[in-house]
Amino acid sequence: TITIGVLALQGDVREHRAALEAAGARTVGVRRPEELAAVDGLVLPGGESTTIDKLLRIFELDEPLRARIADGLPVYGSCAGMILLADRILGGTADQRTIGGLDVTVRRNAFGRQVDSFETDLAFAGLAPREDGPGGAGGTDAVHAVFIRAPWVEEVGPGVEVLARIPDHEAPGIPAAAAGRIVAVQQGSLLATSFHPEISGDARVHELFVRIAKG
């Protein structure tokens, strides 16, 4: 079995571990460089990217993590984790840094104040249909996406594949400026989503990451 670490400095670590285990992986919490060195893949959870950034530096995990990503470690970043994986950030705090690796520009807290948290169903490229999904036995590839003070991806580099966007048409509860925005991307073995599949009881995004990590 493959061992996936979940960065356990801050954020929704337990939910990611449960979703990864449902997807067939063994999981460990990662707080120390020795733990990081032992995993086959890593999840950067949702939480607060400025706090996780500070803790990564305090725990001296930032440089080891950059080195492992440069070496090809599969990493999945959700929400704050997406921010940490991004090469470029808009709307960060003055001293905020990212780990980087993913050739994208993210906008932090992008969806604005009025509807800073919302849920919607999104088409997501490459996921198996859900037998119990809204499409019934015929299935649907839609993912129920929960956004909590989420970032969006404002620009992607040439090697980045877009897996999901906010629908182009206006919908109640979704800010007009969000229409068409990119919210899930993959670049090689790096995966990132603006939203939190670990809390919606649908393990398919984690299954996708486990497949990526198995190579």
Stretch near ligand GLN under the rule CB under 6 A, chosen from 56-64, 77-85, 133-141, 178-186: 77-85
User: What span, in angstroms and rounded, lies between the C-alpha atoms of 49 and 212?
Assistant: 24
Per the annotation, the verdict on 170 as an active-site residue is: no
Annotation-wise, does 52 bind a ligand?
no
Q: State the residue for tokens 């725990």.
A: 59
Nearer to ligand GLN, 30 or 150 (CB): 150
Nearest CA to 50 out of 17, 83, 25, 12 is that of 83
Q: Which SS3 state, helix, strand or coil, does residue 65 take?
A: helix
Interface with ligand GLN, residue 149, by CB under 6 A = yes
**To the nearest whole angstrom, how small is the minimum distance from the Cβ of residue 176 to ligand GLN?**
20
Q: How many Å is the maximal CA-CA distance in the chain?
A: 50
Interface with ligand GLN, residue 16, by CB under 6 A = no
Nearer to ligand GLN, 2 or 12 (CB): 12
Annotation-wise, does 5 bind a ligand?
no
Annotation-wise, does 113 bind a ligand?
no
Per the annotation, the verdict on 79 as an active-site residue is: yes
The DSSP letter of residue 201 is: T
Which residues partner with 165 through β-bridges? 182
Nearer to ligand GLN, 2 or 7 (CB): 7
User: What span, in angstroms and rounded, lies between the C-alpha atoms of 157 and 89?
Assistant: 14
Choice from 7, 8, 83, 160 touching ligand GLN (CB under 6 A): 83
Choice from 2, 69, 80, 208 touching ligand GLN (CB under 6 A): 80
User: What span, in angstroms and rounded, lies between the C-alpha atoms of 42 and 96?
Assistant: 21
Beta-strand ranges (E) seen in 65-160 are 75-78, 86-90, 102-107, 117-123, 142-148, 152-156
Contact set for ligand GLN, span 104-143 (CB under 6 A): 108-109
The catalytic site residues sit at 79, 196, 198
Q: Which residues bind ligand GLN (CB under 6 A)?
A: 46-49, 79-80, 83, 108-109, 148-149
